[in-house]
Amino acid sequence: MQTKTYPLDQIKGFGKLLKNYLAGDSALKSLYGNAPTLASFQSQIDSKKSVNRSLLVDVLTDQYQGLSNIPNINSLADPNTFTVTTGHQLNLFTGPLYVIFKIVSTINLARQLKKAYPKYNFVPVYWMASEDHDWDEINHLHLFGKKIQWDTEQKGPVGRFDISGLSSVWSELPSDIPVFKESYTDAKNLADAVRKYMHALFGQEGLVCLDADDARLKSSFIPVMEADMLANKHLACVNASNDILTNLGYSPQIYAREINFFYMLDGMRERIEKQGDEYKVLNQSIQFSAASLQAEIKAHPERFSPNVALRPLYQETILPNLAYLGGAAELAYWFQLKGIFDLHQTPFPILLPRNFGIIIPPLEAARLEKLELSIPDIFQDERNLRQQFVDKHTKHALDLGSEQERLSNLMSKIAQKAQAIDETLEASVLAEETRWQKGLERLTKKMRKAEERNQAVGLGQIQAIKNKLFPEGNWQERHTNFLEFYLNYPNLIVDLLAVLDPLQFELFVMYLPEQDA
């Protein structure tokens, strides 16, 4: 797979917060820990506090029951073994392409760390967002221009969803795809299915999938639950970080609440809110006094699910983790959470952007070359790209700016003469100028449209490129399912593992090879 990379500064769409962080902007230093460099990992290792490794191994062993070729979970009991982690929702059939980029980035980081620090072991972890309840965000996939959706009336944490009704989706897929057919057919719920297909795709690379919706793991988080729900310790921490970001010209990505936990049962995950002296579960008839809430936390910690402000701390409480890899929006909200980590004296992980990429099929590669379009070019919006293309290839002058300027100068002289005769005539002259200028603007648009018709073939190819690489106006990696490539290029994952570099903070442009006839 031929690959080229481009600095993020050359690509439209990357925010200044990410770019300034990667550039080492000192103004952001108070919002994170160690820098995103290979050399920083020794300090991160030295600072990482011990976690309950035996409990983690027990939970993972239970979750991997029945699977073959299990990764070396037992190595996590070794104090010289650490994890690097990415996380995502439980998308159907892996979801958008960037989920695969996340996983590959994390696996490759573990490999690089092993080479740089050979006396330690590093395990790549996929944190399964099994407690998430935003079903509408994950109930579909985009494949070959078609949206395939699973409709279900189930509510609550998606990881617990029964998947027997998923059979309706298979008829819309181009083939059975054994990896997924076996994973979904034999699974007891959605979390189990996702673990199975991720294991089938990446288990041989050492990836470990963790479902943290577990009473044993939640028990280790009880002190944070009490600090949040009973003492409201965390809102001020996030607000302080938000103030720093706002003063630096950035917009906060998330907002914390006084209580940052949901109450969760099968079929239900609702926010907890204090109303007077009572703690109420919204949209339910469930409520607690302070004493009964504390008793419920101790007896059933698995019923309390952290929101986005506290999920990262939960992750770092139960994993011997060194780094988190995520997209630009994910890293943006991690910058708001450093105060919470400091409050609980928990090391803040190294934040790394996952690899960003775009896959160029042979037809689109040929079109780009023929049209003399660069990769930064195609990241422009289509209107600007079309205008740029027409201006570059036209043989005619399409801009009447000089004519408009001469008209303005001429009308200014006429206005002076008219005003000398009668001051009230100036307004008439200005009105005429406005009318004529608008006429020139209309004529400019007509000339451009006529020239666009002359260049219809090239513009049509530009539209085809945009439709393929930016379907429905979205970046390919955020929209298109990886099966669109994997079905025809079964070595796709192997190739991605070979070219993506988690410590090279650039856009990876990957060109698919021509297929044999």
Do 146 and 115 lie in one domain? The reply is yes
For residues 362 and 515, what is the distance between their CA atoms, to the nearest angstrom?
Answer: 9
- Scan for tokens 């010289």, then name that residue: 80
Cβ atoms of 243 and 235 within 8 Å: the answer is no
Classified as helix, coil or strand, 268 is: strand
Cα→Cα distances 159→134, 262, 265, Å: 11, 15, 12
Q: What is the pLDDT of residue 394?
A: 65
Domain region containing 442: 398-454
**73 within a domain of the structure (yes/no):** no
Helices marked H in 250-337: 290-299, 311-318, 328-334
Do 190 and 104 lie in one domain? The reply is yes
For residues 517 and 514, what is the distance between their CA atoms, to the nearest angstrom?
Answer: 9
Do 375 and 435 lie in one domain? The reply is no
DSSP 319-333: S-EEEEEE-HHHHHH
Cβ atoms of 444 and 397 within 8 Å: the answer is no
Give how far the C-alpha of residue 71 lies from the chain's centroid of Cα atoms, to the nearest Å.
Answer: 26
Amino acid identity, residue 23?
A: A
Q: What is the pLDDT of residue 439?
A: 77
For residues 364 and 411, what is the distance between their CA atoms, to the nearest angstrom?
Answer: 50
Do 183 and 267 lie in one domain? The reply is yes
For residues 61 and 122, what is the distance between their CA atoms, to the nearest angstrom?
Answer: 18
Do 63 and 121 lie in one domain? The reply is yes
**E strands within 150-191?**
none
DSSP 228-239: HHTT--SHHHHH
Buried-state track 300-333, b at ≥16 Cβ within 10 A, e below 16: ebbbbbbbbbbbbbbbbbbbbbbbbbbbbebbbb
Last residue of a domain, one of 454, 470, 491: 454
Q: For residue 125, which of 310, 333, 341, 321 has the smallest C-alpha distance? A: 321
For residues 97 and 478, what is the distance between their CA atoms, to the nearest angstrom?
Answer: 6
For residues 149 and 367, what is the distance between their CA atoms, to the nearest angstrom?
Answer: 32
Q: What is the pLDDT of residue 229?
A: 98
Do 402 and 266 lie in one domain? The reply is no
Partnered with residue 83 across adjacent β-strands are 123, 321
Classified as helix, coil or strand, 188 is: coil
Partnered with residue 57 across adjacent β-strands are none
Do 371 and 481 lie in one domain? The reply is yes
Partnered with residue 124 across adjacent β-strands are 84
pLDDT by residue, tens only, the chain of 517 residues: 899 999 999 999 999 999 999 999 999 999 999 999 999 999 999 999 899 999 999 999 999 999 999 988 999 999 999 999 999 999 999 999 999 999 999 999 999 999 999 999 999 999 999 999 888 889 999 999 999 999 999 999 999 999 988 877 888 888 888 889 889 988 999 999 999 999 999 999 999 999 999 999 999 999 999 999 999 999 999 999 999 999 999 999 999 999 999 999 999 999 999 999 999 999 999 999 999 999 999 999 999 999 999 999 999 999 999 999 999 999 999 999 999 999 999 999 999 999 999 999 999 999 999 999 999 999 998 888 887 777 776 666 656 567 778 878 887 888 888 888 878 888 887 888 788 778 777 876 776 676 667 667 788 888 899 999 999 999 999 999 999 999 999 999 999 999 999 999 999 999 999 876 5
- Scan for tokens 């200014």, then name that residue: 412
Phi and psi at 275, nearest 5°, equal: -125, 105
**514 within a domain of the structure (yes/no):** yes
Q: What is the pLDDT of residue 426?
A: 82
Could you tell me how many helices (H) and strands (E) the chain has, helices first? 22, 15
Do 271 and 389 lie in one domain? The reply is yes
For residues 307 and 257, what is the distance between their CA atoms, to the nearest angstrom?
Answer: 9
Q: What tens digit of pLDDT does each residue of 190-232 get?
A: 999 999 999 999 999 999 999 999 999 999 999 999 999 999 9
Q: What is the pLDDT of residue 105?
A: 98
Do 250 and 334 lie in one domain? The reply is yes
Classified as helix, coil or strand, 423 is: coil
Residues in the chain: 517
Look up residue 438 and give its two tokens: 């608008």
Last residue of a domain, one of 411, 438, 454: 454
Last residue of a domain, one of 431, 454, 477: 454
Give how far the C-alpha of residue 62 lies from the chain's centroid of Cα atoms, to the nearest Å.
Answer: 30
Do 411 and 275 lie in one domain? The reply is no
**Residues 508, 510, 516, CA angle at the centre, nearest 5°?**
170
Q: How many domains does the chain have?
A: 2
Do 356 and 408 lie in one domain? The reply is no
Amino acid identity, residue 506?
A: E
Q: What is the pLDDT of residue 516?
A: 65
Do 295 and 427 lie in one domain? The reply is no
